Amino acid sequence: MTDRLVGDLPVRDAESVAADVPADAELVVSGFGSVGYPKAVPVALAESDRDLDLTIVSGGSVGAEIDVDLVEANAVARRFPYQARPPAREAVNDGSIEFHDRNISTLGDEVEFGHLVDADIAIVEALSVGPDWLIPTTSIGQTPAFIAGADELVVELNHSVPESVREFHDIYRVGLPPNREPIPLTDPGGRIGTDHVTFDPEKLTAVVETECLDQPYEFRDPTPEDRDIAANLGDFLETELEDSLLFEDSLRIQFGVGSLGNALMGALGDADFGDRDLIYFGEVIQDGLLDLLDDGELDSASATSLALSREGQDRLYEHADRYTEDIVLRPADVSNNPALIDRFGVVAVNSALEVDLFGHVNSTHVNGNYAMNGVGGSGDFNRNAAIAVLALPSTAASGELSRVVPMVPHVDHTEHDIDIVVTEQGVTDLRGNSPRETAESLVENCAHPDFRDGLREYLDRGLDRGGHIPHHLETAFDWQIER
């Protein structure tokens, strides 16, 4: 297994590398969308029987080797800025792991400046490596910034990833403030970089060869609610495209990761956008985008990760030449860059746990205190998009809970960040609304009929009290407390 090793490199086994990791090391690891993360060294650390107190920073979600095996070995003390697997989630919520959530676009800067951690070792996955360069696998994420910010570098050379994946990469390094120059990308599907990351050869301390597969996404089949949300979103977009000069030639769109986002991607092919180009500029490539590319409905797709199902991975690997002209993988500080989101006039479509009557959104914390995952890139896109769309079902828990609530107990996105709310019930356009108008429209158009009377009663109590935002604080969280 040496055909992808170029030069005389320090090849070692995972166990010896793990033995050299300091017990309290601050580690930065590759990975985004649960793909492209290191696997062998984290497992070796988990199985080492050492008393470890690690800090782990990843660009996005990673696999079970990190957020299950290491967590269950009690090896993780601090975790930034995203977690999405039950053992990590439980440890974050019981306080045994200290967790800090961040927006994606600025994470690399914080690591390079040492503001978030003083990174001891970067452990990254690659499909090829040389003395001062490597080619990432199925995600780029924050790998370039993490390598630049760490004192040492360990590379996991994964032979299970086809070398053709390198054809998707467009790795461009943004400079650091205060001397950062504009990113010279003028076409969402254009290329301005290379297929590899360069590094100081003195940093490279080990190369570990593996054949470990990524754990694929498991997308559920679209539900009737998903289809209704997609239909409502499509209707809104069709109308918006006709009314706005922003979409004279094309629609540039982003979707959040997950089953709903994947279903919404797939449903875009049913909408009538005329002769406009459909362009994706976001964080993750999911199966729904491959479907659109196969059907000739999508002009290009730019992201930082190939977050695919097993079937999607197989399709991409077997027919990579079909997709290399249309799919571009970039570092996360480019894919999520606020200036580019603004430059391309992106329509951001993200989901959440709940929205309140006045447009505040909770994406991350059940009942305001139980962390589910992390804010991810939704903040980057919602705050900088031409139109920010919140798409979510109107209920949860098999219809027992309303996702439209009087007041969210945790705010990830404020009323100033969201323009449109879409549920299976309908669409609310928040633009230009007063808080009272927003509340009335959300009740009538987006809330489930079973909960509309209760929401109206809350709003009436607030209106009786008066004020610009008519909350009734004494009863604002009654629904959360009762459940």
CB 244 within 8 A of CB 252: no
Q: How far apart are CA 293 and CA 316, in angstroms?
A: 11
Using the Cα atoms of residue 114, residue 116, residue 121 and residue 125 in order, give the sign of their dihedral.
negative
From the candidates 152, 283, 424, 440, which is the catalytic residue? 283
Q: How far apart are CA 474 and CA 152, in angstroms?
A: 54
Q: 350 — phi, psi (to 5°)? A: -130, 155
Helices and strands of the chain, counted as H and E runs: 18, 26
Using DSSP, state whether 404 is helix, strand or coil: strand
283 is catalytic: yes
CA 449 to chain centroid, in Å, comes to 32
CB 126 within 8 A of CB 137: yes
Using DSSP, state whether 86 is helix, strand or coil: helix
DSSP E strand boundaries for 270-374: 277-281, 284-285, 300-303, 305-306, 327-329, 347-350, 354-356, 361-362, 365-366, 370-371
DSSP, residue by residue, 138-192: SB-BTHHHHHHH-SEEEEEEETTS-GGGGGGB-B-PPPPTTSPPPP---STT---
**Residue 32 carries which DSSP code?**
B
Cβ atoms within 10 A of the Cβ of 329, count? 29
- Please enumerate, as own/partner, the contacts of 82-87 that have beta carbons within 8 Å and a separation of 24 or more: 82/58, 82/373, 82/374, 82/376, 83/371, 83/373, 83/374, 84/34, 84/372, 84/373, 84/374
In terms of Cβ atoms closer than 10 Å to its own Cβ (0-12, 13-18, 19+), residue 17 is buried
Using DSSP, state whether 88 is helix, strand or coil: helix
Q: How far apart are CA 273 and CA 372, in angstroms?
A: 36
Q: How far apart are CA 167 and CA 396, in angstroms?
A: 41
Using the Cα atoms of residue 471, residue 100, residue 257 and residue 378 in order, give the sign of their dihedral.
positive
Pairing of strands 204-210, 152-158: parallel
Q: Give the catalytic positions in this structure.
A: 283
